[in-house]
Amino acid sequence: MIRCAPVIATLAVALTGCATSPPLADGLPLTAPRAIELDSTPYFPQDDYQCGPAALATLLVASGVDVAPGSLAPEVYLPERRGSLSLELVGAARRHGRLPYVLASTADEMVEELEAGRPVLVLQNLGVSKLPRWHFAVLIGYDADRNVAVLRSGRERRLEMKWQRFAGTWHRGGRFAMTTLRPDQIPDHAEPERFVAAAAGLEAAGQRSAAAVAYDAAIMRWPREPRAWLGRGNVAYADGDRAAAADAWSRAIMLDPADAAARNNLAELLLEAGCLDESRRQIERASALARGTALETAVSESRSRIDATSLVAARCQLEDRAWPD
Amino acid sequence: MRMNGFRRACVAVLSASLISLGMQAPAAAGVVGTAEAIASQDSNARAVVDATLARADVRAELERMGVNAADVEGRLDALSDAEVATLAGQIGEAPAGGDALAVIGIVFVVLIILELVGVIDIFKKT
């Protein structure tokens, strides 16, 4: 539960500003600039407790979405809690066609994102662990020589905070940091698993065209990442493009023969296309692989449906293809 | 034969349209989503999370938190099953906080106690 507390914030920080983290200059990668400030980052002063919508709007507008905090409040704000949850900020970013990318729990990725020109939304605990004061702010820069973090925060357009103090509040806040990417943007530091998982979030949220763009970008960068192909197939299938789905899923299986999901989905498609023999072969492999996993139920449902199909009127519409073993 | 060819063409067109009709079926129940597939590999995740149940849970909780009924569905739709399952736990376990003033009060009480037991020394007059 996240609430925003501008006044107490300062007091609580003064109270708890024990310098446990090193000065910024000590941890800064050698290649990083000594100072960055993304001046052009928009600023939305928060209304009471509305730091979630304000911080998210800051990121979305910076990434080219036309949106105001007022219209984000119904998407993230919890009136009874006077705050927002970070997961709901993630969800809301998807609704605006952006890919919410949750950063690793070290400051390095924050610095890299700033270098790429993207402000970073952070969750801070301005209080102490036992008496938390949750707050969302946007990191827009730093200065290693002066050892400060620069933020858009609450009612402050430009807030400078001693780096250790900032790092401490972020640490106590659980080290949550995210940026919102255009779906075709892959950060240099991105890891394939995390990026594809973020794209899968867009797919799950029904943002199919954004998800397709993200999967394509992932495939371009990591052509041998099976989950990217699984996702590409899922989006193609949902769009009614069976041929593309069959290709992508086959690719996913070739790259990862133990992928029960891709085999299950390919079996479903083959069943619909009237290719019963091949469908049976794939679903048998899938159900062996899914045994004991969270996919077991889904796969066994597919399997009973396929097993129950005895006579197929149409002949296989996807002949002349080589299916993965 | 000409007639035969025409008939064949008709059959082809008809069957093609029937087939494509079937193809337009919305993202079918049997297909496993990518997020679901990824979540299934997370050994920490509970083996069987009833997605429908978790969604119903969070739906009710969001409404109880004062979210307009009209907004709840859109918020839920933006999240994957695994995220909804996480959220269900979070909302349930999140401590009910007081308002800002009450917290200021607590901060001062804590300060005074710390001062009295000698842990901190911020009220010193010298």
Domain locations along chain A: 6-181, 183-252, 258-310
Query: Is the ipTM here above 0.90?
Result: no
Q: Which fold has domain A183-252?
A: 1.25.40
Q: What is the mean pLDDT of residues A58-84?
A: 93
Q: Residue A287: its pLDDT value, please? A: 96
β-pairing, A134-143 vs A148-153, is antiparallel
Both tokens assigned to A23? 């000065």
Residues A46 and A4: beta-carbon distance below 8 Å: yes
Tens digits of residue pLDDT in B2-27: 546 666 665 555 454 444 443 333 34
Residues A229 and A255: beta-carbon distance below 8 Å: yes
> A6-181 and A183-252 share one CATH topology?
no
Tens digits of residue pLDDT in B69-110: 999 999 999 999 999 988 887 764 543 222 333 455 566 777
| pTM of the complete model beyond 0.90 | no
A82 at interface of B, judged by CB pairs closer than 8 A: yes
Taking the CA atoms of residue B118, residue B122, residue B125 and residue B126 in that order, the dihedral angle to the nearest 10 degrees is 90
Tens digits of residue pLDDT in A226-265: 999 999 999 999 999 999 999 999 999 999 999 999 999 9
CATH superfamily of this structure's domain A6-181? Cysteine proteinases (3.90.70.10)
Cβ contact (<8 Å) for A131 and B107? yes
Interface of A with B in 232-291 (CB under 8 A): 234, 237-238, 240, 242, 259-262, 264-265, 268, 272, 290
Q: Residue B26: its pLDDT value, please? A: 37
Cβ contact (<8 Å) for B107 and A238? no
* Average per-residue pLDDT for chain A: 90
Cβ contact (<8 Å) for A264 and B47? no
Interface of A with B in 31-70 (CB under 8 A): none
DSSP state of B94: S
What's phi and psi for A125, nearest 5 deg?
Answer: -110, 105
Residues B88 and B64: beta-carbon distance below 8 Å: no
Separation between Cα atoms, residue A232 and residue A218, nearest integer Å: 10
Separation between Cα atoms, residue A237 and residue A231, nearest integer Å: 10
- Identify the CA nearest to A286 among candidates A277, A296, A276, A294: A296
